[in-house]
Amino acid sequence: MPYDANLLEISVEALAQRIATADAPLQLIDVRELQEIAIAALPNFQVFPLSQSAEWMATLPTQLDPHAETYVMCHHGMRSAQMCQWLTQQGFTNVKNIAGGIDAYALVVDSSIPRY
């Protein structure tokens, strides 16, 4: 899937602020592998490993709210960018890629999160 230059992104600093101040539930998606989640994860993220997309692709659009404020994370931001593109193609209207992924979050926002 080619990278979309029009993809909306959010910095990890802005994400942390958004999570802290959200007045409505945010839709948080992590597309990393389960073994990556076991090393480092953020609370309240739903896990949909990109490598297992065949298992969730048909039902995910009905499981999630296509108009909710949605943030997608991976390790560095590439797999999540692919997921953001796919969600947008499915009619999701408010999707942002978390720039730098959990690695950037661990570096900039919360150093207690393990890096790998």
Task: Cite the active site residues.
Answer: 74
Phi-psi group of 99: left, alpha or beta (phi > 0 → left; psi -120 to 50 → alpha; rest → beta): beta
Q: In what order do the strands lie in the sheet with 27-30?
A: 9-10, 95-98, 70-73, 27-30, 46-47
Q: How far apart are CA 24 and CA 96, in angstroms?
A: 16
Q: Retrieve residue 66's tokens.
A: 């296509």
> In this structure, what is the dihedral angle of CA atoms 25, 31, 36, 42, given to the nearest 10 degrees?
-10
